[in-house]
């Protein structure tokens, strides 16, 4: 398909509906006179366009009985007071408000329950509290120190240097 | 009940009577637009019961909200069609898959004359079924565009108003729908059936 044919095909639908500018319309008309393939396509589109309009206009034509049925329904609903709609409106917004309240209250309740049941985290010990324990003072001062928990009681396993009753070796080590 | 809509001046008078709660004016307005509106709903929903419900609902809404209609913005027909299209969209959402009311096609009295042969009546019915099937193959937006353009003769400007989109978009939707319909009908041999439908 040549470039001119492609341009013509793109403009065929608006051409059939007479929606092109005079210049473009002239271009398409001139091309259709010379190109049999594009002319055949134009004929097909034009025929289908007419057929579709006619066929759609026939599809779903109501019978007088159907229209009478619809009119009866319309009359009944017009005669009904508008309060039903107002009530419906109020109920819809009332339900939305209730949902909003639930959505706000449930997370708050959950948070409140958690704060009641879960114990508070331990308060961090201050530096002065830590360093008053003798075991920690020794461990901090000694290289390759054994880690000793401040809360651990003195036992037999506690190294001698960590106990208060450890012998003073400084005198023996002095040359 | 299928008379053509009156000139806009007459419509304005009719609307003024409706606003004054004149019951006869409501019926006259209904008679003017009911057939077209029902056909629009049927072409979009392809189900007789749904089309009746939506047409009824649209008229009720329009009659109860006539004070909201602004003649400066659009024609009354366009306003009414906008209401109907909106309700049809709600109906698509409920149905999801549009239902083809085969029972309706079967029981509806044929448009063809009574003296036609059973073969001709069958061909006529097949053509309508083919067209209805082809419409179901379009997505709702394209179906609305093609039905408003070909089934109801609205201009692109009016289609744009009803579908709440720019006129160029309406034009491209019509074109795309046209091409898709043609493809579907061609693949199912329905292009010739349309001619069959129109020959009666």
Overall average pLDDT of the A65-91 stretch: 77
What does the domain layout of chain A look like in residue ranges?
3-58
Reply yes or no on whether the pLDDT at A83 is more than 80.
no
pTM of the shown model: 0.62
Confidence of residue B196 (pLDDT cuts 50, 70, 90): low
Beta-carbon separation of B191 and A48 below 8 A: yes
Residue A122: per-residue pLDDT: 72
CA of B189 vs chain A CAs: smallest distance (Å): 13
Beta-carbon separation of A51 and B111 below 8 A: no
Flag whether residue B150 sits within 8 Å of chain A, measured between CB atoms.
yes
Residue B195: per-residue pLDDT: 57
A57: nearest CA partner in chain B: B151
Overall average pLDDT of the B3-8 stretch: 54
CA of A10 vs chain B CAs: smallest distance (Å): 11
Overall average pLDDT of the B158-185 stretch: 88
Flag whether residue A74 sits within 8 Å of chain B, measured between CB atoms.
yes
Residue B34: per-residue pLDDT: 94
CA distance A35 to A4: 10
CA of A112 vs chain B CAs: smallest distance (Å): 41
Lowest-confidence pick of B12-21, B38-47, B154-163, B185-194: B185-194
Beta-carbon separation of B132 and A59 below 8 A: yes
CA distance B95 to B69: 30
Confidence of residue B7 (pLDDT cuts 50, 70, 90): low
CA A140 to each of CA A16, A146, A152, A166, A168: distance values in angstroms, whole numbers, following the listed order? 96, 9, 16, 17, 19
Q: pLDDT tens across B17-38, in order?
A: 999 888 889 999 999 999 999 9
Confidence of residue B99 (pLDDT cuts 50, 70, 90): low
Residue with tokens 């008379």: B3
Flag whether residue B131 sits within 8 Å of chain A, measured between CB atoms.
yes
**C-alpha dihedral sign at B70, B76, B78, B82:** positive
Overall average pLDDT of the A114-120 stretch: 68
Flag whether residue A22 sits within 8 Å of chain B, measured between CB atoms.
no
Rounded-to-5 percentages of helix, strand, coil across chain A: 70, 0, 30
Flag whether residue A71 sits within 8 Å of chain B, measured between CB atoms.
yes
CA distance B173 to B162: 13
Confidence of residue B110 (pLDDT cuts 50, 70, 90): very low
What does the domain layout of chain B look like in residue ranges?
1-101, 109-200
Beta-carbon separation of B34 and A62 below 8 A: yes
Instruction: Give contacts of B172 with chain A, Cβ < 8 Å.
Output: none
Confidence of residue A2 (pLDDT cuts 50, 70, 90): confident
Flag whether residue B34 sits within 8 Å of chain A, measured between CB atoms.
yes
Best mutation site among A46, A48, A56, A63 for testing chain B: the one with the most B CBs within 10 Å? A56
CA distance A106 to A14: 60
Confidence of residue B2 (pLDDT cuts 50, 70, 90): very low
CA of B52 vs chain A CAs: smallest distance (Å): 6
CATH architecture entry for B109-200: Orthogonal Bundle (1.10)
Lowest-confidence pick of A52-56, A101-105, A121-125, A126-130: A126-130
- Give which of B71, B64, B3 is closest to B31, Cα–Cα: B3
Flag whether residue A56 sits within 8 Å of chain B, measured between CB atoms.
yes
CATH architecture entry for B1-101: Orthogonal Bundle (1.10)
Backbone angles phi, psi at A118, to 5 degrees: -80, 130
Reply yes or no on whether the pLDDT at B106 is more than 70.
no
CA distance A51 to A53: 6
Q: pLDDT tens across A124-159, in order?
A: 666 655 566 677 677 777 766 555 555 555 555 555
Instruction: Give contacts of B133 with chain A, Cβ < 8 Å.
Output: none
In the three-class reduction of DSSP (H, G, I as helix; E, B as strand; rest coil), residue A153 is classed as: coil
- Give which of A131, A158, A156 is closest to A147, Cα–Cα: A158
**C-alpha dihedral sign at B111, B113, B114, B119:** negative
- Give which of A130, A131, A142, A144 is closest to A166, Cα–Cα: A142
Backbone angles phi, psi at B139, to 5 degrees: -75, 160
Confidence of residue B53 (pLDDT cuts 50, 70, 90): very high
């Amino acid at each position: 398909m040549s470039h001119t044919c492609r341009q013509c095909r793109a403009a065929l639908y608006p051409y059939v509906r007479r929606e092109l500018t005079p210049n473009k319309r002239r271009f398409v008309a001139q091309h259709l006179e010379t190109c049999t393939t594009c002319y055949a396509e134009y004929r097909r589109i034009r025929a289908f366009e007419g057929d579709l309009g006619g066929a759609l206009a026939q599809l779903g034509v109501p019978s007088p009985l159907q229209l009478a049925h619809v009119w009866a329904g319309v009359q009944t609903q017009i005669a009904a007071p508008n309060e039903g709609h107002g009530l419906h409106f109020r109920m819809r917004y009332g339900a939305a408000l209730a949902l909003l309240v639930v959505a706000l209250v449930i997370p708050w309740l959950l948070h409140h329950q958690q704060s009641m049941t879960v114990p508070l985290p331990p308060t961090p010990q201050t530096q002065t509290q830590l360093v008053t324990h003798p075991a920690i003072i020794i461990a901090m001062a000694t290289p390759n120190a054994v880690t000793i928990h401040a809360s651990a009681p003195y036992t037999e396993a506690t190294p001698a240097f960590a106990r208060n009753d450890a012998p003073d070796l400084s005198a023996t080590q002095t040359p | 009940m299928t008379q053509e809509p009156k000139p806009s001046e007459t419509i304005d008078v009719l609307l003024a009577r409706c606003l004054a709660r004149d019951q006869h004016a409501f019926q006259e307005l209904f008679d003017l637009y009911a057939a077209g509106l029902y056909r629009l709903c049927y072409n979009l929903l392809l189900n007789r019961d749904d089309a009746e419900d939506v047409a009824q609902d649209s008229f009720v809404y329009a009659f109860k909200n006539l004070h909201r209609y602004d003649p400066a913005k659009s024609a009354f027909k366009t306003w009414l069609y906008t209401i109907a299209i909106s309700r049809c969209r709600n109906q698509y959402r409920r149905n999801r898959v549009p239902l083809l009311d085969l029972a309706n096609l079967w029981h509806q009295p044929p448009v063809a004359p009574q003296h036609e042969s059973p073969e001709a009546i069958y061909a006529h019915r097949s053509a309508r079924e083919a067209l209805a099937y082809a419409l179901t193959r379009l997505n709702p937006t394209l179906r609305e565009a093609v039905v408003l353009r070909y089934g109801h003769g609205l201009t692109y400007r009016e289609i744009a108003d009803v579908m709440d989109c720019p006129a160029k978009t309406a034009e491209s939707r019509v074109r795309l729908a046209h091409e898709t319909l043609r493809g579907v009908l061609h693949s199912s041999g329905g292009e010739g059936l349309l001619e069959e439908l129109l020959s009666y």
